[in-house]
Amino acid sequence: MSRVVTFGELLLRLSPPSHLRLTQARSFDLYYGCAEANVAASLSKFGLSVKFITAVPPNELGESSLSMLRSFGVEPISFIQGKRLGIYYFEQGASERPGKVVYDREDSSFSTLKKGMINWEDAFKDSDWFHWSGITPSLTLELAEICEEALTVASRMGLTISADLNYRPTLWKYGKNANEIMPNLVKHCDLLLGGIDDSEKVLGIKVNEKDTQEEIFSNWMNAFPKLKNIVTTKRMDANASSNGISASFWNGKELLHSQKYNISHIIDRIGAGDAFMAGIIYGMIAWPDDNQTALEFAAAATCLKHSISGDINLATVNEIKALMGGSGGGRVSR
């Protein structure tokens, strides 16, 4: 069983029930999640052994967020400090009305982490894989530097390193652009989840209008020699309630494409990218020599996430394999 470590900021998600708008809400449904914890929980559900490193406040919200992780079998390693758990309010979209996120995550416990606090050698001991995302370095310069600490140690200790670029322009507010920070971190990675829109803004790599996807990803690999694989997802014919989805895998030689799924009735799209990320990590561990199968697993994983409430993909390995094998015909499983 592989051992994976992830690192990030757990958030409290507050959502009105039943497609109500935020201004109509008399109650909020409550979930905990974040890009990296969503990956952690999904991998744990797939059967891997997973640690999640974070910081939460010494109050009931902090305790509950860790309790949620434990319920999925993830082992949280958390600093209990600071004053508050970050929040995001999420309004489900419907049809032509897009979903909406209102962040209230500043001054969180996670943002009180300091360089040198985390013993990365301990954290990575006996582990094979480290996963992080572009959210963390977007929050504060100190957190970006902590990422660098972690990546340096993980590289040295020989872990496989993956990242989801996860570019959210509204989060980068401390005076640096993403492309001033991220290249220095991405250079440690073996596997990236990103899209061609990220090339300039996140990686600082120019894109010419005529560049094919293969050429762009080749340029990334040239810029970051350690990088071995790049994965990317694509939505089609989308509104807030339905879309198609497919994914691609660039292994430096060929661009593999997954089958396309038509998701006609979306229950919850939050965490779809994280479901894909967990799928591809699992896939590459399970089928190290079969990128196509790994990709299909990840694509089916993200497809199923759209049918599941909350931030975390609760689909099992068997369910994902069944969808890869054509179970999506609506027949009730008895």
Q: How far is the CB of 289 from a copy of itself (least distance, A)?
A: 27
State which residue, 21 or 156, has the beta carbon closest to a copy of itself. Answer: 21
Residue 238 binds a copy of itself, judged by CB under 8 A: yes
Cα 324–329–330 angle (5° rounding)? 120
Residue 241 binds a copy of itself, judged by CB under 8 A: yes
Tokens representing 51 are 């640690």
Q: Which of 51, 84, 131, 188 binds a copy of itself (CB under 8 A)?
A: 84
Rounded CA separation 205/192 (Å):
15
Burial of 294 (0-12, 13-18, 19+ CB in 10 A): buried
State which residue, 20 or 157, has the beta carbon closest to a copy of itself. Answer: 20
Q: How far is the CB of 216 from a copy of itself (least distance, A)?
A: 21
Question: Per CB under 8 A, which of residues 304..333 are in contact with a copy of itself?
Answer: 304, 306-310, 314-315, 319, 323, 327-333
Question: Per CB under 8 A, which of residues 19..78 are in contact with a copy of itself?
Answer: 19-30, 59-61, 63-64, 67-68, 70-73
Residue 13 binds a copy of itself, judged by CB under 8 A: no
Do 57 and 78 meet the contact criterion of CB atoms below 8 Å apart?
A: no
**Contact region with a copy of itself (CB under 8 A), list: 2-10, 84-92, 179-187, 278-286:** 84-92
Q: Which of 196, 207, 221, 240 binds a copy of itself (CB under 8 A)?
A: 240
Q: What track of x and - describes contact with a copy of itself for positions 177 through 216 (by CB under 8 A)?
A: ----------------------------------------
Burial of 179 (0-12, 13-18, 19+ CB in 10 A): middle
State which residue, 17 or 252, has the beta carbon closest to a copy of itself. Answer: 17
Q: How far is the CB of 8 from a copy of itself (least distance, A)?
A: 17
Residue 136 binds a copy of itself, judged by CB under 8 A: no
Tracing tokens 């309790």 back to the chain, one arrives at 67
Closest by CA position to 31, among listed 17, 51, 46: 17
Q: How far is the CB of 278 from a copy of itself (least distance, A)?
A: 16
End-to-end, the C-alpha distance of the chain in Å comes to 30
Q: Could you give phi then psi for residue 247, rounded to 5 degrees?
A: -145, 160
Do 188 and 152 meet the contact criterion of CB atoms below 8 Å apart?
A: yes
Do 58 and 109 meet the contact criterion of CB atoms below 8 Å apart?
A: no
Do 74 and 40 meet the contact criterion of CB atoms below 8 Å apart?
A: yes
Number of residues near a copy of itself (by CB under 8 A)? 81
Q: Which of 269, 278, 282, 301 binds a copy of itself (CB under 8 A)?
A: 269
